Structure 1
Amino acid sequence: MRKDFDPVGIAPFAFYRLLTATVVPRPIAWVSSTSRTGVDNLAPHSFFTVASAAPPVLQFTSVGRKDTLRNVEATGQFVVNLAPEELFEKINDTGTDFPPEHSEFDAAGLTREPSLRVKPPRVAESPVAFECELHSTVGFGVSTVVFGRVVHIAVAEHVLDGDHPLIERLRPLARLGRDEWGTVGDVREISRIPFADWERR
C-alpha cells in the first residue's frame, strides 16, 4: 500500500517538508556573496547540484528572496564553498536569518579568504571553493534557481590525492528532512559495464 499526496490538495509547506524528506541526501552549497555596500553574506542552500560540465555551471535554489539572492543579482558574483562535517555547527549558524547588515562570517567566527577571480571571499576553513559568475536565474513561484559559471576552483592540498579530491578527506555534509543532516557514511564502488561486455558478465 502507498499513501498518495496531491501537491494541489495539501498546504505548500507540508508538501515542501515531504519533498525535502524524500529527495535525500542533498549536497549543500555554502554560498558566500557580497552586497553592494560591502557586507559579506554566507548561507547554506541545500537545493544544489552541477548544472553543466562544459561550460562548468553550478546551480542552487533560493527559497524566498534571501540576502544571497539579492547580493548575487546585484553583483553577479558568488562563491560556493564545500560544507564539511567538521564545521557542522558553524554551517547551521550561518542559516540564521541575520539582518542584511550583519555578516555571517563574523557571527559564526569564520575566516575570510580572498578569492582569485571574484569579489566575494571564500571560507578559509572550507577545503573547496568554486568561484562563480552569475549566468542566469529562473523563477518558480517563491523559489529562484541561480546558475553560476565556475571561473575558478581552489582545493586544499590536504584533501587531494594528486589532482583527485578524496571523499574521506572532504567529508561533505548533506541535508535530509526536518532538522536532520547526513554524513558520508559507507562508500561503495562499482564500475559501469559497457554494452559490449554485458553478455560476458
Structure 2
Amino acid sequence: MFYDPRKGDHGLPHNPWTALVTPRPIGWVSSRSAAGVPNLAPYSFFNAAATHPPFVMLSSTPRKDSLSNIESTGVFAINIVGAELAEAMNRSSAPVPSDVDEFGLAGVKAGACRSIDAPCVAQSAVVIECILNRVISLSPKSGLPCDTHIVFGEVTGIEIADRVIRDGRVRSELIRPVSRLGYLDYAVTEQTFEIPRPGS
C-alpha cells in the first residue's frame, strides 16, 4: 500500500505511522513546575541526539505540562523505564490537571538529581539529567496545522545503577528497557547480540 500521510487516506482503522519507526525508546520525563509541583510523563518520541557532548531530544504533541515546566525552569531528567517500571510508567500517562503529582499517581519514589534542580525516579536504573538547550516548534511546508515542539536537552549528569554494569559495560539485558511499538504495544529488551563493525 501507499498513502500520503498529509491527506490521511491510509484506509486502515488505525493510523499506521506510529507502528513503522520502532522500537522507540521511552523518555520518562521528570520535571517540576515553577510553582514546585513534580511532574512525570512518558514520551515515546524520544532519543539521543548527539554524543560529544551528549544531547537528547523529545517531541511534545501538543504542548504538555512537561514542556511548560522545562521552559520555565530550564531543567529536566530522563528516567529509563525498565520492565519492572512499565505499569508505573503507564499510570503516569493519565491525563490529569497540572497540579497533580504524577510520582504519587505512578506509585514511584521521587529522588533528587545531582547536577540540576529537578526530581527523578529513584527506582530507575538510568537517569539522564539535562538543561534545556532549545525548543523548536515544527511548521509543515504543507501548511497543515501542527502543535508539535521538539525539545533539545544538553546532558549535565548521568546516574547509572551499579547493578546494570558488568565487566565495565552497561548491559541492556540487565536494564530490560521498555520500548514503544505501534499503537498500544510495547517490547522489553532482554536478549542482545553483538555484530563487530568491519575493520574493528
In the superposition, the TM-score normalised over structure 1's length comes to 0.90
Instruction: Give the equivalent residue in structure 2 for 1:32.
Output: 30
Gaps of 5+ in 2: 139-145
After superposition, residues 70-149 of structure 1 pair within 5 angstroms as: 70-140=68-138, 141-149=146-154
SS at match of 2:90: helix
Per the alignment, in what secondary structure is the counterpart of residue 19 of structure 2? helix
Q: Secondary structure of 1:69's partner?
A: helix
CA-CA distance at 1:17 after TM superposition: 3.0
Q: Which amino acid aligns with 1:37?
A: A
Structure 1 unaligned residues grouped into runs of 5+:
none
In 2 relative to 1, CA 79–163 (structure 1 residues): closer, same or farther, beyond 3 Å?
Answer: farther
After TM superposition, give the deviation of residue 79 of structure 1 in Å: 0.2
Report the AA paired with residue 189 of structure 1: E
Secondary structure of 2:2's counterpart equals: coil
Matched residues in 2 for 1:76 and 1:154: separation? 19
SS of equivalent residue, structure 2 residue 108 = coil
Aligned length: 192
Cα gap change, 1:115/1:11 in structure 2, threshold over 3 Å: closer, same or farther? farther
Higher helix residue share: 1
CA root-mean-square deviation: 1.9
Instruction: Give the Cα–Cα distance (whole angstroms) in 1 for the partners of residues 42 and 76 of structure 2.
Output: 13
1:161 to 147, 158, 166: 166
Matched-pair identity in %: 37
TM-score (norm 2): 0.91
- How far 1:162 sits from its partner (Å)? 4.6
Deviations 1:72-92 (CA, angstroms, capped at 9, x unpaired): 011110000001111111100
| Structure-2 separation of matches of 1:8 and 1:158 | 46
Is 1:174 the equivalent of 2:167? no
Once the 2 structures are TM-superposed, how far is the Cα of residue 118 of structure 1 from its aligned partner?
A: 1.0
Per-residue Cα deviation, 1:32-53 (whole angstroms, up to 9, x for no partner): 0000000000000001111111
Residue equivalent to 1:150: 155
- Residue 17 of structure 1 contacts residue 177 of structure 1 at CA under 8 Å; is this kept in 2? no
Instruction: Indicate which of 29, 52, 65 corresponds to 1:67.
Output: 65
